[in-house]
Amino acid sequence: MPENNFIKDIGEKTGTRRDVLTKGLALGVGLLTLEAWTSQRTLAASGSGQVSQGMAQIPTLPPPVDPWQEDVILVMQQDLKRALSKPLDQRHWGMVIDLQRCIGCQGCTVSCINENKLPPGVVYRPVLEETSGTFPNVSKHFLPRPCMHCDNPPCVPVCPVGATHKRPDGIVGIDYNACIGCRYCITACPYSARTFDWGEFYGDIVLGGPLPYEEIPSLEYGKVWVREAGKSPIGNTRKCQFCIERVEKGLLPACTDMCFGRATYFGDLNDPQALINRVRQNRQVNQLKSELGTHPSVYYLL
Amino acid sequence: MEQKHLAQRQTSQSMLIFGVIIWLVLFAFGLHGLYDRLAFDSLQTDMGSYIPWGLWVSSYIWFIGLSAGSFLLSTLVYVFKLKQLEKVAPLALVVALITLIMALLSIWFDLGHMGRFYGVYLHPNFHSAMAWMVWLYTAYFVLLIFETYFALRGSLVRSSFLPGIPGIFSRILTGGRQEALSEEEVRRDRRKVTTLATLGIPLAIAFHGGVGALFATVVARDVWHTSLYPILFLVGAFLSGGALFTGLIAFFWPKRDDYWQATVHLLGRVTLGLLLLEAVLTWAELSVPMWYGVGPEYEELRYMLFGPYGWVFWVVQVGLCTVLPLILLVAGSKSPRMTGWAGILVAVTFLSTRLNLVLPGLVAPELAGLPYSYHDGRLTYQYLPSGSEWQLLAFIISVGIALYFLAVKVMPTLTGRDVA
């Protein structure tokens, strides 16, 4: 990974500050050593030494990531390469969204629309907004909501024709050509993560038909989908599929790639080295409506 | 006496003309809805992704309830040997068949890809309550056709001598048979009808209770997710089917004799009992989740009762579908006309009950902030059936009415006419 020149430049220009930092660091290390030494003595005195010996055999995760020191996009791309080298059923794609980093710009929503060529009425990743408090103590909260790709998805068993399915890599997908458009799955999703393609175009009002850019096909599930009346995906339920056609080519999902607040992490939940697992360390993690037993593959950092 | 008879004929003729005009208006209105549906798919509907089911799903469960109710009424004769309804039972079977066709049309038009319905037969997912529904309907449809045929075969043979369309129709269905059925054949047909009707009871309970289960098993929807739903659907089916049949016998049975009076009276009593049972279940459905004014279902049901469409509950469901029929059935228990009106009122306004079972489960956002996260006409929690949706429903109803009168016309024995 290239050295962070920005930090290096600042360091050279502020020599005196560097001295102060060095002294502070030395003092800190000294205090930590003292703390570690006293902790060991306390453990030995309480007879817990054996426990700590046993603990040493448990493999430890690499240190948590400091996103200011590593370019998370590049790290996640490396993670993708590692995951793609494994068989499909040994990967488990998942997402982590850091709510403290999300600024509610809705860039992920827009990039998703752009990637999947979404028509009116169809949205895969809206950013939910909630305002709490009263003036002057007001705060706004944002919650990007992709498909949760649940491990126990309520939308899969309800599909009368098996068009909605759980893939071995954790993705909940839809076979557009099998979907009959009954919308039972929409009612069954507790996250409202499914929307129906009613066949509308942005150009309908003015042109009475699609605008030129609406005729560009989407490439969902690695196939070419041109929206024409009576043909899929019109008349189908549609949803976020973690941009699997991009992921399988080593690219991150559009929302993750675009998120300039670096609030979205994507990767293989089965890989302990993956950034998606490292960022969850030492943070309070939540899943939406976990009490339903759906086991979502999307985690939120609070 | 002759003058009175002439006046009666004139009245019935003018009623017939009036009826035909109403039907033509309904049919023309409906044809436009059919054109909208076929030319523009689901574009002309007011449904969206947050309220993905609306009038057509509600009317589907309304019609399927009418079918199950009519069928179960016929089993009172064919399985439980209730003599009083023997003459009207074949008509109940035909009504069950027609309303089943109406239900299947409703749900077929609701599909995003109407041409792919066969997928449920080719690659069904039997974990899905909906897949079970389709398979059970198919079995019920086949059973109904055979049962109706065997119930009517004797009278069809007798009708084959009639002039015109009824005769042709009867000859086609009986393979041009001329001699009357032997006693042995009649007995054999009766046995077949009894067997099919007996098989039909669990089937009708399974598919209509199953429609309730289709909603009740959805864990994401608090209002739907209750064990009471399948029971509510079943009782609703008995009630609406019974009420429709009461109305049909009261107004369209040609012979106004003692038998007719006693039959309407009996059907009225059955409707009254079921109406009271339905009222108790509705009270349970609403009072349990709302009693303490807290909980996820509370807001949704409150919206149903006191929101902008609260009148559907108070005026239509309570007023026209419960209280007024109750008054008519109790105060006019001896009047076939009052009983008939009560039946028609319940059967027609029962759509409101079905709307109030489907929509409240969909009106509340599943996640806070969802209504304001993305602005689009299809991503709102507002739903009012569009003109096009009503038109298509009118088309289906006009098809049902046409099928009924066609059936009665080509099979005169259905309404008790003696053709021997």
pLDDT digits (tens, 9 = 90+) for B286-315: 999 999 999 888 989 999 999 999 999 999
Distance of alpha carbon A93 from alpha carbon A236, whole angstroms: 24
Mean pLDDT value across residues B122-143: 95
Tokens of B284: 């349970």
- Flag whether residue B126 sits within 8 Å of chain A, measured between CB atoms: no
Is A191 within 8 Å of B367 when comparing Cβ atoms? Answer: yes
Tokens of B200: 């039909």
Contact between A294 and A148 (Cβ < 8 Å): yes
pLDDT attached to residue B255 = 84
For residue range B319-340, what is the model confidence (pLDDT) as tens digits? 999 999 999 999 988 899 999 9
Residues of B with Cβ-Cβ distance to A196 under 8 angstroms: 48-49, 52, 112, 378
pLDDT attached to residue A82 = 94
Is A180 within 8 Å of B111 when comparing Cβ atoms? Answer: yes
- Flag whether residue B39 sits within 8 Å of chain A, measured between CB atoms: no
Is B110 within 8 Å of A184 when comparing Cβ atoms? Answer: no
Return the residue of B nearest to A144 by Cα.
B373
Is B41 within 8 Å of A199 when comparing Cβ atoms? Answer: yes
DSSP B155-187: HHHHHTTSSHHHHHHHHHHHTT--SPPPHHHHH
Task: Give CA angle at B255 (B270, B416), nearest 5°.
Answer: 80
Looking at B253-335, list the stretches that DSSP marks H as alpha helix, in order from N- to C-terminal side.
258-290, 296-306, 310-311, 324-331
pLDDT attached to residue A60 = 62
Which residues are bridge partners to A129 per DSSP? A142
Mean pLDDT by runs of 10 across the 302 residues of chain A is: 36 44 53 48 42 56 62 91 94 95 94 95 94 90 96 97 96 96 97 96 88 93 92 95 95 94 94 91 91 96 92
CA B345 to chain centre: 13
CA–CA min distance A279, chain B (Å): 25
Closest C-alpha to A125, from A114, A140, A136: A114
Distance of alpha carbon B64 from alpha carbon B71, whole angstroms: 10
Report the residue from B52, B220, B372 with minimal CB separation from A196.
B52
Distance of alpha carbon A86 from alpha carbon A147, whole angstroms: 24
Q: Which of B53, B378, B388 to mutate to test the interface with A (most CBs of A within 10 A)?
A: B378
- Flag whether residue B296 sits within 8 Å of chain A, measured between CB atoms: no
Distance of alpha carbon A173 from alpha carbon A195, whole angstroms: 13
The backbone torsions φ and ψ at residue A301, rounded to the nearest 5 degrees and listed phi first, read -90, 125
DSSP B360-371: GGGSS-SSTTGG
Maximum Cα interatomic distance, chain B, rounded to a whole number of Å: 75
Residue B157 in this model has a pLDDT that exceeds 50: yes
Return the residue of B nearest to A201 by Cα.
B43
Is A178 within 8 Å of B119 when comparing Cβ atoms? Answer: yes
As a whole-number percent, the residues of chain B with pLDDT over 90 amount to 78
Report the residue from B40, B49, B134 with minimal CB separation from A196.
B49
- Chain A, 143-172: which have a CB under 8 Å from a chain B CB? 143, 145, 154, 157-163
For A106, left (φ over 0), alpha (ψ -120 to 50), or beta?
left
- Flag whether residue A182 sits within 8 Å of chain B, measured between CB atoms: yes
- Chain B, 161-180: which have a CB under 8 Å from a chain A CB? none
Q: Which of B40, B41, B44, B49 to mutate to test the interface with A (most CBs of A within 10 A)?
A: B49
Is A154 within 8 Å of B218 when comparing Cβ atoms? Answer: yes
CATH class of B2-415: mainly alpha
- For chain B, give every domain's residue range: 2-415
CA B411 to chain centre: 21
Strands A164-166 and A93-98: unpaired
For residue range B22-70, what is the model confidence (pLDDT) as tens digits? 999 999 999 999 999 999 988 999 999 999 999 999 999 999 999 999 9
Mean pLDDT value across residues B232-255: 93
For residue range B345-373, what is the model confidence (pLDDT) as tens digits? 999 999 999 999 999 999 999 998 898 88
Is B111 within 8 Å of A159 when comparing Cβ atoms? Answer: no
- Flag whether residue B375 sits within 8 Å of chain A, measured between CB atoms: no
**Residue in the block written with tokens 């199953």:** B210
pLDDT attached to residue B283 = 96
Closest C-alpha to B128, from A177, A295, A162, A236: A162
Residue B126 in this model has a pLDDT that exceeds 80: yes
> What residues have CB less than 8 Å from A286, skipping those under 6 apart?
A299, A300, A302
- Flag whether residue A188 sits within 8 Å of chain B, measured between CB atoms: yes
Closest C-alpha to A263, from A77, A107, A79: A107
Is A187 within 8 Å of B362 when comparing Cβ atoms? Answer: yes
Residues of A with Cβ-Cβ distance to B49 under 8 angstroms: 121-122, 186, 192, 194-196
Across all residues in chain B, what is the average pLDDT?
Answer: 92
Q: Which of A8-22, A269-283, B167-181, B213-227 has the highest mean pLDDT?
A: B213-227
Is B366 within 8 Å of A191 when comparing Cβ atoms? Answer: yes
Distance of alpha carbon B154 from alpha carbon B182, whole angstroms: 9
**Residue in the block written with tokens 């030129």:** A212
Residues of A with Cβ-Cβ distance to B214 under 8 angstroms: 184
As a whole-number percent, the residues of chain B with pLDDT over 70 amount to 98
Which residues are bridge partners to A268 per DSSP? A93
Distance of alpha carbon B43 from alpha carbon B34, whole angstroms: 13
CA atoms within 13 A on the CB side of A254: 22
**Residue in the block written with tokens 């102060």:** A20
Residues of A with Cβ-Cβ distance to B50 under 8 angstroms: 192
pLDDT attached to residue A55 = 52
pLDDT attached to residue B155 = 87
CA–CA min distance A46, chain B (Å): 49
**One CATH from 3.30.420.40, 3.30.460.80, 3.90.79.10, 3.30.70.20 for A72-301:** 3.30.70.20
Contact between A94 and A276 (Cβ < 8 Å): yes
- Chain B, 42-71: which have a CB under 8 Å from a chain A CB? 42-43, 45, 48-50, 52-53
Residue B123 in this model has a pLDDT that exceeds 90: yes
Higher pLDDT: A173 or B2? It is A173
Residues of B with Cβ-Cβ distance to A183 under 8 angstroms: 52-53, 112
Tokens of A255: 């929302």
Q: What single-letter amino acid sits at B142?
A: V
> What residues have CB less than 8 Å from A83, skipping those under 6 apart?
A91, A93, A267, A268, A270, A271, A274
- Chain B, 211-270: which have a CB under 8 Å from a chain A CB? 214, 217-221
List Cβ<8 Å contacts ≥24 apart for A67-73.
Answer: A67/A262, A69/A4, A70/A1, A71/A1, A72/A262, A72/A265, A72/A275, A73/A252, A73/A256, A73/A257, A73/A262
DSSP B377-405: TTSSS-----HHHHHHHHHHHHHHHHHHH
Q: Please count the residue pairs, one from chain A and one from chain B, whose beta carbons lie less than 8 angstroms apart.
A: 157
pLDDT attached to residue A58 = 66
List Cβ<8 Å contacts ≥24 apart for A278-287.
Answer: A278/A61, A278/A62, A278/A63, A278/A64, A278/A65, A279/A64, A279/A65, A279/A96, A279/A98, A280/A96, A281/A61, A281/A64, A282/A64, A283/A98, A285/A96, A287/A148
Contact between B79 and B201 (Cβ < 8 Å): yes
SS3 call for A196: strand
Return the residue of A nearest to B131 by Cα.
A160
Tokens of B271: 């409707």
Classify residue B257 by its DSSP letter: S
pLDDT attached to residue B205 = 92
Residues of A with Cβ-Cβ distance to B48 under 8 angstroms: 121, 196, 198
Distance of alpha carbon B381 from alpha carbon A172, whole angstroms: 26
Distance of alpha carbon A273 from alpha carbon B39, whole angstroms: 54
Residues of B with Cβ-Cβ distance to A180 under 8 angstroms: 111-113, 116-117, 119-120
Distance of alpha carbon B351 from alpha carbon A29, whole angstroms: 76
Is A143 within 8 Å of B125 when comparing Cβ atoms? Answer: no
In this predicted structure, which of A226-235, B90-99, B167-176, B215-224 has the lowest mean pLDDT? B167-176
Is B369 within 8 Å of A129 when comparing Cβ atoms? Answer: yes
